Amino acid sequence: MHPSDLRLLAYCDGEAGGRIARHLAGCRRCRERLEQIRTEKAALAAAHPIGPDQEPQLTGLFGAISAWQSNESNGARLHLRRRVRERVETFCGAAAVGTVDHPGVREEKLLGTSNEIFDAFLGPAAAEVIQDDLLRGLRWNLPLGETNE
């Protein structure tokens, strides 16, 4: 099964790895589509440079990224971890939770591993829906101590 354009875009941005890389190694069609996505991204970036009117939005985005990286967004991280554990248990069984979440696993890795499991067991379309649901509504820029609930 071929990865969706969304997954190829994530791969292009360095957000997806192993499984897509292995698929691309053996699939000319997907390599060509990946190259097309890269070309379209470059053309879009050149045609629509970031202007001063977008700076406040970018400041908020960069603040959220910074909070995530500096672990100031514990509420969102804990909420995401709980969501992932619940979805893995629901769709793959309680035993599968221990394979994706164990001490020392960062949330980024947890999210990626769970997505690979959903993709393998439920298919790419279902995995994308679950991934979107996992991230929906999380606010990464909440002050430490506040939660997403």
State pLDDT tens for residues 3-53. Answer: 888 788 888 877 777 788 889 999 999 999 999 989 888 887 777 666 666
40 with 109, same domain? Answer: no
39 with 63, same domain? Answer: no
Please check whether residue 148 lies inside any domain of the structure: no
Q: Which long-range contacts (CB under 8 A, 24 or more apart) does 63-69 make?
A: 63/141, 64/140, 64/141, 65/140, 67/140, 67/141, 68/140
Of 49, 64, 88, the residue at which a domain comes to its end is 49
73 with 103, same domain? Answer: yes
User: Tens digit of pLDDT for each residue in 103-142?
Assistant: 888 877 888 888 888 888 888 888 888 888 887 776 655 4
Residue with tokens 């980024």: 108
148 pLDDT more than 70? no
Give backbone dihedrals phi and psi of 144, rounded to 5 degrees, phi first. Answer: -55, 135
81 with 135, same domain? Answer: yes
Phi-psi region of 142 (alpha: psi -120 to 50; beta: other; left: phi over 0): beta
Tally of domains within the chain: 2
111 with 45, same domain? Answer: no
Residue 44 CA: distances (Å) to CA of 15, 35, 40, 50, 59: 20, 14, 6, 11, 21
Please check whether residue 67 lies inside any domain of the structure: yes
Residue range(s) defining the domain that contains residue 39: 1-49
32 with 88, same domain? Answer: no
pTM: 0.48
Count Cβ atoms below 10 Å from residue 79 Cβ, excluding itself. 20
Give Cβ neighbours of residue 142 (< 8 Å, ≥ 6 apart).
Answer: 73, 75, 76, 148
